[in-house]
C-alpha cells in the first residue's frame, strides 16, 4: 500500500499541472469563456456539487470501468497504453466545451486512466473507488483554487 499513495500523489500533481498549463494557454492566448454555464437551470453551487460528488462516480463507471472491461476482457487487448489512449479519447470527447478543453481532458484522461489501470492491477478491489476519490479531489481542487 505504501507504493500506491505516492503514485496517487504524483498523479494528482500531474493533473493539477495539466490544468494550470491549459488554463495558462487559454488565459494568455485563446480567451475561451471557461465560466460559461451551459446548464442555465442549474445554479453554480448545484453544478459544483454535481462535479465534485456525482460526476466522478458516473464518469469513472462510463469512462474507466466499462471501457477497460470491454477492451481488456471482451476484446482481449493487453496493451495498456493503447487502452489508456482509447479510454482518454472517449473521456475527452464527452468534455466538448471547446477544443482546448477537449485537449486538456484528453491529457487529464491519460492521468486518470493510468491511475485506474494501475490500481486495477495492484489493488483490484479499490480501483474504482480510488479513481472516484482522485477525480472528486481534482474537481474540488478546481472549485476551490481555480474557479
Q: What is the pTM of this model?
A: 0.92
For 127-135, which contacts have Cβ atoms below 8 Å and span 24 or more sequence positions?
128/60, 128/61, 128/64, 128/65, 130/4, 130/8, 131/56, 131/60, 131/64, 132/56, 132/57, 132/60, 133/56, 134/8, 134/11, 134/12, 134/15, 135/55, 135/56, 135/59, 135/60
Residue-by-residue pLDDT tens, the chain, 147 positions: 678 899 999 999 999 999 999 999 999 999 998 766 566 788 888 989 999 999 999 999 999 999 999 999 999 999 999 999 999 999 999 988 899 999 999 999 999 999 999 999 999 999 999 999 999 999 999 888 876
pLDDT in tens, 85-99: 999 999 999 988 899
What pLDDT score does 145 carry? 82
Nearest to 18 by CA among 119, 88, 78: 88
Amino acid at each position: 500500500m505504501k507504493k500506491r499513495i505516492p503514485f496517487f500523489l504524483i498523479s494528482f500533481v500531474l493533473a493539477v499541472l495539466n490544468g494550470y498549463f491549459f488554463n495558462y494557454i487559454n488565459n494568455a492566448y485563446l480567451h475561451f469563456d471557461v465560466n460559461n454555464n451551459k446548464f442555465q437551470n442549474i445554479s453554480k453551487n448545484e453544478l459544483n456539487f454535481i462535479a465534485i460528488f456525482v460526476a466522478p462516480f458516473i464518469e469513472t463507471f462510463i469512462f474507466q470501468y466499462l471501457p477497460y472491461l470491454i477492451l481488456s476482457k471482451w476484446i482481449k487487448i493487453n496493451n495498456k497504453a493503447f487502452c489508456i489512449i482509447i479510454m482518454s479519447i472517449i473521456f475527452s470527447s464527452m468534455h466538448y466545451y471547446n477544443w482546448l478543453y477537449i485537449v486538456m481532458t484528453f491529457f487529464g484522461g491519460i492521468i486518470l486512466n493510468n491511475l485506474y489501470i494501475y490500481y486495477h492491477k495492484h489493488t483490484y478491489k479499490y480501483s474504482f473507488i480510488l479513481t472516484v476519490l482522485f477525480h472528486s479531489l481534482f474537481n474540488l481542487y478546481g472549485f476551490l483554487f481555480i474557479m
